[in-house]
Amino acid sequence: MLDNGLGRIVMQLVAIAILLALAPLCPAGELRNLEPQAAPALNLPDLAGQSQGLDAWRGQVVLLNFWASWCQPCLEEMPGIQRLAEKMQGQPFMVVGVNVAEARRKVERTLAQWRIDFPVLLDAEGATFRAWGGKVLPTGVLIDHQGRLRYVGLGPLEWDGAEVVSACEELLVEARSVAR
């Protein structure tokens, strides 16, 4: 029997190997409009170990981005996601990253290297990614102010490009009209 620390490392390596096999990289990104549907449950620790969930962002449009540091397309889209977060500052809009199956220290180093400052949650075993129907990395999901899935981005996207910004603004207009 392996000691607790070594056993955890082995389990993380197995989880990464499984994700590598089950989550092939998507070579070109595509933003798909979805029929509005309730988002699956989300309750994950942030980098400080505090549990976070979608309920905390109810009333806001949320970009939930699933990524991993070994996924080059994931890293290449990070600056665009950061620019989108900055562009939407002051509006009811939230960017939340979900790292899939990596250790906290690895995630922290990657975020520092890429100068990312939006919140990141840790999906240590990849269970949330799978529960959300994740099949490719990167995957981004736009969630409306009512907590409904509205768009999915499969593969690397220009998150600060015209198509995505337009979709985000459409969801923000809906949120504002309800707030009145």
Report pLDDT for 178.
Answer: 79
Average pLDDT of 121-137? 95
Name the band, by pLDDT with cuts 50, 70 and 90, for residue 3. Answer: low
- Which of 43 and 3 is assigned the larger pLDDT? 43
Q: Residue 21: is its pLDDT beyond 60? A: no
* Three-class SS state of 173: helix
Nearest Cα neighbor of 67 from 118, 33, 32 is: 118
Residue 42 confidence (pLDDT): 96
The tens digit of pLDDT for each residue in 143-162 reads 999 999 999 999 999 999 99
Q: What percent of the chain has pLDDT over 70?
A: 83
The region of weakest confidence among 13-22, 65-74, 116-125 is 13-22
Cβ-based burial of 164 (10 A; exposed 0-12, middle 13-18, buried ≥19)? buried
Between CA 92 and CA 64 the distance in angstroms is 14
The mean pLDDT value for 19-43 works out to 76
CATH topology of domain 4-179: Glutaredoxin (3.40.30)
Output the pTM of the full model.
0.84
What integer pLDDT is reported at residue 19 of this predicted model? 45
In whole angstroms, what is the distance from residue 96 CA to residue 66 CA?
9
**Running DSSP on this structure, what letter comes out for residue 110?**
H
Q: Among 60, 54, 23, 59, which residue's Cα sits nearest to residue 41?
A: 54
The residue among 74, 95, 76 whose CA lies nearest residue 164 is 95
- The mean per-residue pLDDT over the stretch 77-105 comes to 97
